[in-house]
Every structure is written in C-alpha cells, then in structure tokens.
Amino acid sequence: MPNTVSVDKNSYTSKGLLGGTNIIIYCGPSKQADASALSFPDPGQDDSGANKFKLVGVIQDMAIQAGRPQRQLGELGSAAKYMITSRGQKSMTINRIVTYHGSGLHALYRYMYENMDKDIRKKAFPHGKIWTFLSHPVFLNPVGLIFRYVNYDDQGNIQDIRKKYHEDVYVAGVGAQITEGDIGITDNLSLSWSNTVTMK
C-alpha cells in the first residue's frame, strides 16, 4: 500500500493562506527583551500609553529581500572553480500613506516619539508629525518592528498565529511619492535590521 500524506483540509483554501488582512505591524523598543511588558492593541483600539506597542497603520505594501553576495573564482593554469560567499544581507521597504496624524517616519518612531523630551521632539520633527528629516541624531537610534500574524474566526475575533520581532531596525532612506490626481501621498521607507526573533 503506498504511503499517504495527510493534508489539512484548509491548506489550499482561503483559511489556509496568509494575505494582507492577516498581518498587523507595530513599532516598539529596539530589543524584544525590553518589550516583555507591552501589550498588542487590536486595529481600531486605543494604542496610547507607554505599556503598548504602537500600530504603524495604513501601510499599502511592503517587501522583504534577503541575499548573500557570491563570487566565483578560478586561477591561471587550472580549470577548477571556487565559490566564495559573504554574510547574508536583508532589507525591507514599506510604503505608507501620509496622514494628518503623522508621516511614515513618525509612525515608525512613534513609540520613541511619545517618550521623547519635548525639545528633542521639536528638533527631530521640525514641521510637526508630517514632514521629517533623517539628519537629526535621534534617527541614529534603532527601533523595533513587530509583525503580528493573525487569523479571524467566523465572528471576526482575532486569533494569533505567530509574532516576529525585527530588532535594531534602522531607516536607510525616506522618500515621498506624489502624483497629480492622487487622493493620498505615499511615504517610502527603506529599512534594514539586525535580527528576527519569534515571540512566544
């Protein structure tokens, strides 16, 4: 009798797939170890207060890339080839709608922003929360970016699947996309990070 493999009946249905509605993105401290006492507010809930992760919100799309530079070497007098590699590299891009509550950079640094001295806050965000500049030393500090993967039951209640904590996230670049006729302005954030930890 041939071997059989059991397959979850939901594996190839909408319930077995992860889509845009299944991921909620938060910002927080740069290290997971500093965030053990923080809670996850659901979308639409109040996320103010020092004991909560901050919802990044209105992200239109994101992309994560990972790679390892490689080079093939040979030598004179031999047909042999050698492959050498270096350390792996990873990057992330996030496109987020600008709102009156803040730009993409403000949303990413909101946990730090709300615990920041007012004088430093004014210098780091000279035009309020909308337009910001990477030149201020505050942006030399990393933040944490948390991906909360969820599912929804038949009543719309959230069920956690897993949480991934991206530690030491740095902003490598910020840009804005403005097109005539568009309803909203999109911020483009280029990010890098050091480590990804699965939260319990």
- The domain ranges of the chain are 22-199
**pLDDT tens per residue across span 62-112:** 999 999 889 999 999 999 999 999 888 899 999 999 888 788 888 999 898
Question: Which tokens in the block code for residue 95?
Answer: 């496109």
Query: Could you give the C-alpha distances from 93 to 70, 90, 131, 162, in angstroms and in order?
Result: 23, 11, 18, 21
| Residue 119 host element (H or E) | helix 118-124
Question: Which tokens in the block code for residue 42?
Answer: 């659901």
CATH of 22-199 among 2.60.40, 2.30.110, 2.60.120, 3.90.320: 2.30.110
- CA–CA separation, 141 vs 197, rounded Å? 19
State the pLDDT confidence band at 14, using cuts at 50, 70 and 90. low
At residue 9, the pLDDT reads 53
Report which listed range, 13-22, 128-137, 147-156, is most confident: 147-156
Residue type, 51: N
Task: Tell if the pTM clears 0.85, that is, is over it.
Answer: no
